[in-house]
Structures are given as C-alpha cells and as structure tokens.
Structure 1
C-alpha cells in the first residue's frame, strides 16, 4: 500500500511540473510487445494557433530493450484527416558504445522525453492527431512499455 501511495505521489509531482503542457498522454504497450500494426494515436486541441509549440515524444522502456536506438514514424493530421506531415525519427535510448541508458530511471524502467518539433505553428486552431508507428522492423518489438506525446507552449518556463 505504501508503494502505491509513493507511485501516485511521484506521478502527481511529475505532472505538476508540466505547467506549460497543453496536452500530455501515454499509451501503454500491451505486455511490452509493440507490433508494427499497433499505431498509438493522440488527439489534442490547439486553441491558440498564433503561438509556437514544442512537441515531444514520451517513451518508457525496460533495460531489456535490445537496441540502443528506436526508429519511429510519426504522422500529424488535422481535424479533416488531412496529413500535414509524416517523418521518420531516430531516438537514442542508450549510449551506443557503453550501453548506459539515457533518460530517467527507477530500477530497470527508463523514461525518455525527446524533442520532436521545436517552435511548431499549427495552421489554425482546432483538433489535431499524432499517430506513431515503430519502424524497427522487428515484429513485435520487445520491452517498450509505453509511448506518448507532450505538446507544450514554446518559450514558457518549465
């Protein structure tokens, strides 16, 4: 019971630090097996298109993850479903030479926050969807526990 209370407290503490976040969401990867067909989708509202936003990947993996990197393809769509962009990104989860994990870890679980887009200006206010697909070509990709995004107002203090 004490452990659960500690986890809830830590989650609230971390969530309270994102005061400039307008959206933050994770999708858990069932059994840590990320199938290529599994493309988590995140839908969020942009109320003010006159200001820039930073968009981040959020990723949680175990130390048993078999690679130092992770390739992801992202798709950004507007409320009509029109694709505004798609792009392949490489996230570096561990030092390629030493194997030392990047990110913040507790035990063998590590959390990462990678900048996806800096100072992005959405075309207009409205609803947008970001879809993420693993592109490692291992199916399923093992030991990825959750993936998500954060959308923050750029230039706001953390």
Structure 2
C-alpha cells in the first residue's frame, strides 16, 4: 500500500500546481500575537518579467472569528523597481456580513481566509522587482484578530 503513496502524492502535487499557472507570486506573512499594529507595515517584493501583460493583485487576509469588526481598512503602496511610488489607495475589505455578522471567506472553526481582488488590469512599464506595502488603517492599534496578511499577483487572460 505504501508504494502507491508517493506516486499519488506526485500526481496530486502536479495537478494542484498546474491549476495555478497564472500566479507569478504569492506570500502570506503571519502577524505576531495575532494582531496588527499600525506601524507594522507588511512588505512584499515580486518580480515582473513580461511588461506586455496585465496583472491582477489580490490581498490575502486570515482572521479569527473573534475579530471585532465586519470590515478591514487597509492601505496599499505600490513601488516600482526604481523606488518611485506607482499607486496608493485605501481599501475596505469585508470579512463578515454587515447584517448577520456571519464570517465571509473560506474557513472552518474559528479561522477564516479571504482573497480580495485589489488591483485589476495592473500594468508595469518596466521589468524588475516591485514592492507592495500593506498597512492596516483601522482606529484600533494594535488590531487584534488579524492573524496573517499576504499578496498574490497573477497574470490576467
């Protein structure tokens, strides 16, 4: 029976990786003590090689069900390879239904994951390493119940 586990695992890994051909970058960073201080700006660096394509940038958030708010205000700053700011914006992400308080996203038990499209049809003028910085913009500092944040960049068809 054990001799079939390795080939099955390899096949499953190949199948799962082939479903994600558009992804060029994805990284999630755990937050210390499951809280996000305003000063703890999360930084992500990703490489863009093909400037002829359009890209989609998603924000990933993992929260505990004990998170006290239905939304999360988050600011992004996108920097080019030369360090110049390309864009900055304040985003409102909905983590729970406004009326019922029911958690949104994928999850089980008391942990929920969200992937929210933040920047659509993003173009990059030059190849190189880009940086995106995320900062929580809620009134509470630190913000408890946020366990991890991340960024996913993929090509658009």
Please, which of 10, 20, 23 is the counterpart of residue 22 of structure 2? 20
User: Helix, strand or coil for the counterpart of 1:27?
Assistant: strand
User: Helix, strand or coil for the counterpart of 2:33?
Assistant: helix
Instruction: Summarize the alignment of residues 5-154 of structure 1 with structure 2, pairs less than 5 Å apart.
Output: 16=17, 17-154=19-156
- The whole-number CA distance in structure 1 between the counterparts of 2:120 and 2:80 is 18
User: Helix, strand or coil for the counterpart of 1:31?
Assistant: helix
Encode CA deviations 1:33-76: one digit per residue, 9 max, x unaligned: 10000000000000001000110001100000000000000000
- The whole-number CA distance in structure 2 between the counterparts of 1:57 and 1:33 is 17
Q: CA deviation at 1:18?
A: 2.6
Gaps of 5+ in 1: 1-8
- Bigger Rg, structure 1 or 2: 2
TM-score (normalised: structure 2):
0.88
Q: CA deviation at 1:81?
A: 1.2
User: Helix, strand or coil for the counterpart of 1:100?
Assistant: coil
- The whole-number CA distance in structure 2 between the counterparts of 1:34 and 1:18 is 29
Deviates more, 1:38-47 or 1:75-84: 75-84
Residue 6 of structure 2 corresponds to none
- The whole-number CA distance in structure 2 between the counterparts of 1:27 and 1:124 is 27
Over 6 Å off, 4+ runs = none
Q: CA deviation at 1:20?
A: 1.2
Q: CA deviation at 1:19?
A: 2.5
Gaps of 5+ in 2: 1-8
In the alignment of these two chains, the number of paired residues is 145
